[in-house]
Amino acid sequence: MDTTGTLFLPPANSTIAPEVDALFQFILVTSIIFFLIVVGGTAYFIYKYRKKGKDGFTADISENRTLEIIWTVIPIILVFIIFFWGFKTYLKMHVPPAETIQIKATGQKWFWQFDYDNGASSTNDLVVPVGKPVELLLSSQDVVHSFYVPNFRIKMDVLPNRYTVTWFEAPRQGEYDLFCAEFCGTSHSKMIGKVKVVSEREYNEWLEASSNPGEGLSLEEYGAKLYQSKACVTCHSIDGSPNIGPTLSGLIGRTEQFTDGSSLSADENYIRESILNPQAKVVKGYQPVMPTYQGILKDKEIDALVTYIKSLNKTGE
Amino acid sequence: MSGNKTEVEKNYLNDQKGIKSWLLTLDHKRIGILYLYSIMFFFFIGGMSALLIRLELIRPQEVIVGADTYNQLFTLHGAIMIFLFIIPGIPAILGNFVLPLMIGAKDVAFPKLNLASWYVYIFGSLFAVYSLVTGAVDTGWTFYTPYSTSTDTSVVSMTLGAFILGFSSIFTGINFIVTIHKLRAPGMTWFKMPLFVWASYATAIIQVLATPVLGITLLLLIAERLLGIGIFDPAMGGDPVLYQHFFWFYSHPAVYIMILPGMGIISEVIAVFSKKKIFGYNAIAFSSLGIALVSFLVWGHHMFTSGQSEFAAMIFSFLTFLVGIPSGIKMFNWLATLYKGSITFETPMLYALSFMFLFAIGGFTGIMLGALSVDVHLHDTYFVVAHFHYVMMGGTVMAFLAGLHYWWPKIWGRTYNEFWARIAAFLIFVGFNVTFFSQFILGAKGMPRRYYTYLDQYQPLHAFSSVGAFVIGAGFFIMAFYLIHAMVRGKRIGRNPWGALTLEWTTTSPPSHHNFEEIPVVKNGPYDFDRIRVENDKWIYKEE
């Protein structure tokens, strides 16, 4: 299988990709041939029949049945081939095999959440075993997103009012870019993650560890991990620089001005409220764009994040 | 010629003076000029926003603007270029000016409706401008729900603007249909009409039939935002995919509103600059109508990854390929027209040849996107962006420029500097390919569209593309200069500088208020270069 990619296509790593690439190459080659006929013909004619000398009368050539039938019928045959070929693979993309690993994928502004059968979950990192068909049940918490993995050649819109399904089987291990392909607002271009294709053993170990993710870590360490893995990092800096949302650096004890005119010295309860009900108090100068983490973060995880944010004060001093 | 002096003295440009004579004019030529100024103004704004977008994308992280501003910029670029430039461009400027002349009429059928269409255009564009200064729109020109119902930018005024602009489009369409049916000069049968007229006719049909659907869709969107009626937003019980169906039911035929008139211009220019009877006149004329009809049935190909049923996707893919065939036939017809011609390479012809080159690439990549499995990978990537720029800019805009340079001497009675015009054409052609061919590769490699920042691996191609954009910009900058110079100081020319056989070239340049000294009687076809040639504005018939 193609592992290096071509001039046009990125390296392929799914069972469906070779079929897509084959059709892509077929259309590419056919197009180049026809392009050479049209543009080559044009170049030849405009050179050969460039005006020479004085204007005269030109030939009356306004139809040629045979030629016209040829240049109508041949393209029709070719597009029929392309149509059937494309449709065949499209059906395969849309019908998952009978035995699959099912993972729930949720899109929201602006991260991906993956939930596994055993209660494990992850944000922006989709971990899957190599060589096993994986079926994703997709839905959105807010606007339309689109789940896109270029190396797998799959893409499926993620809708707020219904489930959509896509599936893939990755034959090789590695990390692959995951993009949101449907415009979803300010940080649309930050809504990217990774698909991590790992061995069966690593997958099982990861599943085990992720169903009990804080084990062996201090609350602060766990919070630091969650800050990355739950995508807080997308909008909130820890170095004091402004982003989509206010910085977390020095947050505890800071007096925040809100859009409704009120203000408050930030404490643990304010952080908890802002995670679970972010629209309740929106800091002046920022848009009310943060999604709620109600149902995404467990109490212990919120504790860990609060502890971590408090620790940022210490290092800042 | 004895008439030469009076021609200069008395024409549609100078027979009435004062701002009021322009703002209340019912002359199709003057209305064409009003459209020219206003549409070019928006083309300039749309073009500048494109340059800002490309400047921002030169590096993966922030360069000049923030994320929200970037999102507003590409929305602005798309909405302005589509609704205020490309859709009205060829019909309202060139169509208004030359269509009545081409069929030997004194004016369009409804001159007041024609003027009204310009005022409606201006009124609609004011809403667009208003939404710009009051916070702009960040939804993309497609206004997809539920994003567009939930963002706090001024979506309502922008969509209201697009809604109003639709009426301008419908007015022009109705006017052209009736004009073509009723006002053709004696002897001009349907099959003696120039192909630009055929193309305008097919376009007008789509304008009249498809635009109301967009109007209804945008009204529903406004109703949802203002009144909270749940139509598209699932939070209120609506369905976002329904919006996509409604939107593309108009916006796909609209693609043909944009390209068909362009194809008409290419047919004129290729025949005239080859001095050759057009090959397959009937095939070209009927393929315009064929495209117009089938174009209503392919909207679902914008939604192959939206979760619509596989059966629907299959039908839409099939019909998409079907609609590609007539365009292919036209390409072969133009190629065959060149055969055994007597070809010259003035600026309009350079743009027509650019069109053939670029539109061919646009068409082939359309086949890529029509193929279901390949589209799943390419949908919503830069491949799509490159494809529609090859069709819209490589196709329609090149055709528009061909037409603009072809009829510019007729419009002003003065011509432009051929040397600078060729330089500009060259810059635009090269810059265009640099800008957009690289985007095919970007897209196929997986770069999604509408991304403010991007992964480092895409940087070289993005930077390359940005350089091309500024080359295009330079070309248009030069063009603005020599075209404006031509209007006021250009070399005066006679009636028929290109030796064409359509009626607009038999009258004075610029034409008089009533177009023709006497009603023309048509005896020959528009491209009978096998038996007529033009020398010093006079027709010389071949001796039988």
A91 and A132: one domain?
no
- B221 and B149 Cβ atoms separated by less than 8 Å: yes
| Cβ pair A38:B381 closer than 8 A | no
Residues A197 and A225 in one domain: no
Q: Which CATH number do you get for residue A127? A: 2.60.40.420
A133, A145 Cβ separation under 8 angstroms: no
pLDDT of residue A118: 85
Asked if B245 is an interface residue toward chain A (Cβ–Cβ < 8 A), one would say no
Q: What residues contact A185, with CB distance under 8 A and at least 6 apart?
A: A109, A110, A143, A289, B71, B138, B147, B151
DSSP code per residue over B127-169: HHHHHHHTT---STTTT-TTHHHH--S-HHHHHHHHHHHHHHH
Q: Is residue A157 part of a domain?
A: yes
What pLDDT is stored for residue B7 in this prediction? 46
Pairwise CB contact (< 8 Å): A159 & B241: yes
Question: DSSP 3-state assignment of A101?
Answer: strand
For B222, other C-beta atoms within 10 Å of its C-beta total 17
How many separate domains does chain A show? 3
**pLDDT value of residue A264:** 87
Q: Which residue of B has its CA nearest to A160?
A: B234
Instruction: Judge: B280–A68 Cβ closer than 8 Å, yes or no.
Output: yes
Tokens 């001095």 locate to B275
Q: Which of B57, B281, B355, B372 to mutate to test the interface with A (most CBs of A within 10 A)?
A: B372
Helices (H), ranges, chain A: 17-35, 41-48, 65-94, 200-211, 219-229, 268-276, 299-316
Q: Is A301 within the bounds of a domain?
A: yes
pLDDT tens-place values along chain A, 317 residues long: 445 667 889 999 999 999 999 999 999 999 999 999 999 999 999 999 999 887 788 888 988 999 999 999 999 999 999 999 999 999 999 999 999 999 999 999 899 999 998 888 888 999 999 999 999 999 999 999 999 999 999 999 999 988 999 999 999 999 999 999 999 999 999 999 999 999 999 999 999 888 877 777 888 888 888 888 888 888 888 888 888 888 888 888 888 888 888 888 888 888 888 888 888 888 888 888 888 888 788 888 888 888 888 888 765 44
Residue ending a domain, choose from A173, A192, A211? A211
**Min CA distance, B451 vs chain A (Å)?**
5
Asked if B220 contacts B145 with a C-beta cutoff of 8 angstroms, the reply is: no
A81 and A159: one domain?
no
Q: Are residues B336 and A61, on separate chains, in Cβ contact within 8 Å?
A: yes
**What is the total residue count of chain B?**
544
Domain that holds residue A179: 101-211
- B68 with A186: Cβ contact below 8 A: yes
Q: Which amino acid is residue B59, in one-letter code?
A: R
Residue B312 forms contact with A (CB below 8 Å):
no
Say yes or no for a CB contact (<8 Å) between B150 and A143.
Answer: yes
Q: Which of A63, A86, A146 sits opposite B317 (nearest CB)?
A: A86
C-alpha distance from A208 to closest chain B C-alpha (Å):
31
Residues A233, A151 share a domain: no
Q: How many CA atoms lie within 13 A of B440 on its CB side?
A: 20
**Which residues of chain B have a pLDDT value below 50?**
1-7
A80 and A3, same structural domain? yes
* B536 contact A CB<8A: no
For tokens 């499926």, the residue is A156
CB contacts of A39 in chain B (<8 Å) are 356-357, 360
Residues A262, A185: one domain? no
Question: What CATH class does B4-541 carry?
Answer: mainly alpha
Interface test with A, best of B374, B382, B533 (most A CBs within 10 A): B374
Is A86 close to B152, i.e. CB distance below 8 A? no
Interface predicted TM-score (ipTM) = 0.92
DSSP structure class, residue B172: H
Distance from CA of B341 to the nearest CA of A (A): 6
Contact yes or no for B332 and A164 at CB 8 A: no
Q: Is residue A176 part of a domain?
A: yes
CA gap B244, B63 in Å, rounded? 33
Q: Indicate the residue of A57, A87, A185 with minimum beta-carbon distance to B147.
A: A185
N residues, chain A? 317
**Beta carbons of B235 and A160 less than 8 Å apart:** yes
Question: Are A203 and A233 found together in one domain?
Answer: no
Judge if A207 and A105 occupy the same domain.
yes
Residues A73 and A147 in one domain: no
Q: What is the model's pLDDT at position B9? A: 67
Identify whether residues A205 and A106 lie together within a single domain. Answer: yes
Domain boundaries, given as residue ranges, for chain B = 4-541
Contact A52 B361 (CB under 8 A): no
d(CA B325, nearest CA chain A) in Å: 7
Residue that is last in its domain, among A211, A241, A275? A211
**Which of A95, A112, A140 represents a domain boundary (last residue)?**
A95
Q: What pLDDT is stored for residue B222 in this prediction?
A: 87
Task: For residue A161, list chain B residues with Cβ-Cβ distance below 8 A.
Answer: 234, 238-240
Q: What is the CATH number of the domain that holds A257?
A: 1.10.760.10
Interface test with A, best of B305, B456, B537 (most A CBs within 10 A): B305
How many other C-beta atoms lie within 10 A of the C-beta of residue B324? 21
**Which CA distances in Å does B493 have to B130, B420, B533?**
42, 18, 18
